[in-house]
Structure 1
C-alpha cells in the first residue's frame, strides 16, 4: 500500500505522529495525516497500464505557524521525486496553509500525485 510507504518515508525524515486518514481525538500535537483523495485508472489501447496514479494529501497540524511551515518544507523535500517499493515517482500538485479558528491550529496541506505499479 503506497500510503504505508509514504508514511514510513515521512517518519524517517523526522515527521512524528503520522496517521492514516485521521488522527485520534486525543492525538498529541503536532501531528500529520495522510489520505488518498483521488485515483485514476490509467488505460492504454492494449488494456490496463503498468503505472497507476493516486492523489495523496498530507496535512500537518501544529499550534505553531513556524513549525507548520518548516514541516511543510520537510514533507515536500522528502516526497518530491520519491521512489520506493511500488512507488515510481511523486510530484507535488499543490500546497497551502490555513489557521483553523475552531481548533486554534495551523494547518499546512500538500497534495501529491503518486505514480506506482499495480
Structure 2
C-alpha cells in the first residue's frame, strides 16, 4: 500500500512525526502530514491493470521558514530515492496563522502496483 511506503520514506525525516491525513492534536513541529488526493486505476484492453497512479500531497510544517525549507529539501531527496516511481508536480509555501507554523506543500504523482 502506497501510504505505508510513504510513511517509511517520510517518518525518518522528522523523527517519526509524519501523519497520514491529519496531524496529531499535540503534534510538535517539525512534522509532516501526507494525504492521498486522488488515485486512478489504469485500464487496458484486458481490463484493470495492477499499475496505479496516485496523486499525493505532502505538507512539511516547521517553526521557521528556513527550517521548513530544509524539511522540504529532505522530502525531495527522499522521494527521489524512494523505491516507487514518482514525479514532483508542484511546491508552494504557506504560513499557517492558526498554529503559527510555516508550511511547504509538495504535490507528487506516484506510480505503484
TM-score w.r.t. structure 2 length? 0.91
Provide closer, same or farther for how the CA distance between residues 113 and 81 of structure 1 changes in structure 2, counting only shifts above 3 A.
farther
Superposed counterparts of 1:2-81, under 5 Å: 2-12=2-12, 14-16=13-15, 17-80=17-80
TM-score w.r.t. structure 1 length? 0.87
Say whether the 8 Å CA contact 1:81–1:90 is kept in structure 2.
Answer: no
Distance (whole Å) between structure 2 residues aligned to residue 93 and residue 65 of structure 1: 21
Distance (whole Å) between structure 1 residues aligned to residue 111 and residue 61 of structure 2: 26
**Equivalent residue for 1:112?**
108
Listed as ranges, the gaps of 5+ residues in structure 1 are none
Say whether the 8 Å CA contact 2:14–2:30 is kept in structure 1.
Answer: no
Listed as ranges, the gaps of 5+ residues in structure 2 are none
Between Structure 1 and Structure 2, how many residues are aligned?
112
Distance (whole Å) between structure 2 residues aligned to residue 80 and residue 95 of structure 1: 15
Name the SS for the 2:14 alignment partner: coil
Distance (whole Å) between structure 2 residues aligned to residue 49 and residue 41 of structure 1: 7
